[in-house]
Amino acid sequence: MPYQRPDQSNLYKLMSLSTEINLRHLSVRLGKEELESYIDRAAAAGIVIIKIIHGRSGGDMRRATHELLERHPLVTDFEYPAAPSEGGPGVTIAKLVHIQN
Tell me the fold of 6-96: Ribosomal Protein S8; Chain: A, domain 1 (3.30.1370)
CA distance 87 to 48: 19
CA distance 11 to 99: 16
CA 39 to chain centre: 5
- The mean per-residue pLDDT over the stretch 62-80 comes to 97
How high is the pLDDT of residue 99?
A: 77
User: Which tops the pLDDT comparison, 14 or 58?
Assistant: 58
Percent pLDDT > 70 in the chain is 83
User: Which tops the pLDDT comparison, 100 or 71?
Assistant: 71
Give pTM, 2 decimals: 0.85
